[in-house]
Structure 1
Amino acid sequence: MPGTPLAHAGALAGAQPFPSLATDRLVLREFEPDDREAVYRIFSNEAVTAWHNIARVSTLEDARQLVAWRAEQWPSGRGVRWAIALRERPLDAIGSCGFDFQRRRHGAVELSYDLDPGHWDRGFAREALAGAIGCAFAGRLGMAVGRIEALTQPGNRRSTRLLGSLGFRQEGVLRRYRHWHDEAVDLACWSLLRGD
């Protein structure tokens, strides 16, 4: 499908079954309402929200709304968001990852991710993202993906190492590019192209 106009790709994505994935140690699955406790645990932690565009979650109702928004991404064709869980505990989310399809017309998707700090430094984020990237480049998202982008705050060393280990290249810094927590922040732009 390279070269095919992708303006309708989001609608195609939502019409397909959700692309659940499995890696050696993880499952990447659809979000369920019961994931609100895990989302609350992750996004009430300042170590996570300091580097994320989602504000700190203060109630289970906030977490429920975030879970509902994430679950709606695939059916609406706006993106895909996987709940990450250990294979031996597939109902207990430890994080999430996914793609925004906002630039689908150009064959590009934007990657974002989060992980419970209790699971940091074990290679889970890298394993989950490698599975998601493979899914995108294999055409399982209802579009021909040729470019995956990721945006990080320049001081986020963990994300810098993670993206570099997956083959992403930093293209530059977008100055005061987005508002996170009511502040205009600089964001480093990273990319991975099909075939890199």
Structure 2
Amino acid sequence: MPITYEMENTDNNSLAITLRPYRLSDAEDFLMYAGDERVTQFTRWNTLNSKEQALSYIKEFCIPHCYCKSICFNDRSIGFLFIKPYDEDNEKCRAEVGYVVAAEYWGRGIATRALKMAIIDVFKQFTDLVRLQAKVLIENKGSQRVLEKLGFQKEGLLRKYTIHRGTASDLFMYSLLSTDPMP
């Protein structure tokens, strides 16, 4: 079932941001952002080059994933959001968060609104979940702002934590607890 957030357009028209499961028909829209180096520069996945790659990613990752949603603007897929709960018994209290939004929609608060909707939904859906966490490359200032607006706490610097585009890279660790206040 889609989750909807209404936002005001500059013309005072209401525009809907929706989170919904991916559909195979989203492939061209998915390629619009997953094929854009500006968008994928901070992701763990490579920039896609074809509609076939987009279809494959949607089919093999997005659709079977327990919480992978298409961020839609007036029902057009303009972004990607996932929350991945850990499977181990002693780790069921936490989940990893990731998201991207098409470059043409940057700076409009869409990622912030979409993630806020997902946070509310995922804490209801996964009852063992206590902690959401996001690991963000230190160069990714936009994502850091999104998380901070939503009350995520910057816990620290993870030095040379991951290989990103062939180089050992530093990350910031952010977290939000189910008991933390939401703005």
Normalising to structure 2: TM-score of the pair?
0.86
User: Does structure 2 conserve the Cα–Cα contact (< 8 Å) formed by 1:153 and 1:187?
Assistant: yes
Partner of 2:121: 135
Partner of 1:16: none
SS at match of 2:82: strand
The Cα shift of 1:61 comes to 1.3
Q: Distance in 2 between matches of 1:36 and 1:180?
A: 25
Equivalent residue in structure 1 for 2:106, among 120, 127, 131: 120
The Cα shift of 1:128 comes to 0.4
Q: Distance in 1 between matches of 2:105 and 2:149?
A: 18
Structure 1 portions without partners, runs of 5+: 1-18, 75-79
Normalising to structure 1: TM-score of the pair?
0.80
Q: What amino acid is the match of 2:57?
A: L
Equivalent residue in structure 2 for 1:28, among 5, 8, 19: 19
Equivalent residue in structure 1 for 2:62, among 64, 70, 86: 70
Q: Please tell me the root mean square deviation across aligned C-alpha atoms, in Å.
A: 1.5
Partner of 2:72: 85
The Cα shift of 1:104 comes to 6.1
Q: How does 1:1-196 map to 2 (within 5 A)?
A: 20-24=2-6, 25-68=16-59, 69-74=61-66, 80-86=67-73, 89-90=74-75, 92-102=76-86, 105=89, 106=91, 107-137=93-123, 139-141=124-126, 143-196=127-180
Q: Distance in 1 between matches of 2:152 and 2:87?
A: 18
The Cα shift of 1:20 comes to 3.2
Q: Distance in 1 between matches of 2:49 and 2:147?
A: 29
User: Does structure 2 conserve the Cα–Cα contact (< 8 Å) formed by 1:54 and 1:180?
Assistant: no
* Aligned residues between the structures: 168
Q: Which structure carries more relative contact order (alpha carbon 8 Å, separation 6+)?
A: 1
